[in-house]
Amino acid sequence: MSVQEPEAREIPMPTRLFVVARRDPELYSYLRARFSDDAQVEVVLDRRVETRRRRALPAAAERRRADRRGRPEIDEQLQTTSLAIVGAPSAAATPSEARRWIETMQRGVAAIGQALDDRDRLERDTRATQRENERLRAEMDQAWKELAQIDSAIARAIAVVNELRSRLRCEPGQDPAP
């Protein structure tokens, strides 16, 4: 009986790294959720707080030969847009992959446009319904006033009829009704 080594499972390494500036945690949360199921993308929050060695006095001897941040364009992207997308050297997108990304983005933009149009249409419909509601309320108020006037007129007419009836019953010299 021989003991076999378990096969090493190959865990895909991300080919794109999204670095999000610390000042934009909402973007970080959104991108983490958006790419949570994409093994090719990793989203990280920029861990750097500030540039180092900001003393008034120079250090006795600089041990580093050069700045470790070898890609200043990433710092610039983070400062201007809150997001830097870093690709692995072999991560260049194929034309078909780039086309798919563009088509997906275009569909997303079209869907957002449609949603905004729908929202505008619904807002117009809501305003029209509110105006109609106000018109109907005014009509109802007017109808209630007219109903109150009619009710008052009927009450006065009933009072007049009752008065006349009582006069007819009480007047001397008239034959009582058979």
- Tokens 């983005």, residue located: 105
CA 45: distance to chain centroid?
23
Question: Residue 33: inside a domain, yes or no?
Answer: yes
More confident residue, 142 or 93: 142
For the entire predicted model, the pTM comes to 0.38
Amino acid, res. 70: G
The domain of 21 spans 13-48+71-87
Angle, vertex CA 166, rays to CA 160 and CA 172, nearest 5: 130
Domain total of the chain: 1
The stretch 54-74 carries a mean pLDDT of 60
Question: Residue 8: inside a domain, yes or no?
Answer: no
**Could you tell me the two tokens for 79?**
């400062």
Q: Read off the pLDDT of residues 119-166 as tens digits, 9 standing for 90 and up.
A: 999 999 999 999 999 999 999 999 999 999 999 999 999 999 999 999
**Could you tell me the two tokens for 138?**
């005014």
User: DSSP characters for 86-153?
Assistant: EE-TT-PPPHHHHHHHHHHHHHHHHHHHHHHHHHHHHHHHHHHHHHHHHHHHHHHHHHHHHHHHHHHH
Question: Residue 34: inside a domain, yes or no?
Answer: yes
Which pLDDT belongs to residue 99?
73
Question: Residue 31: inside a domain, yes or no?
Answer: yes
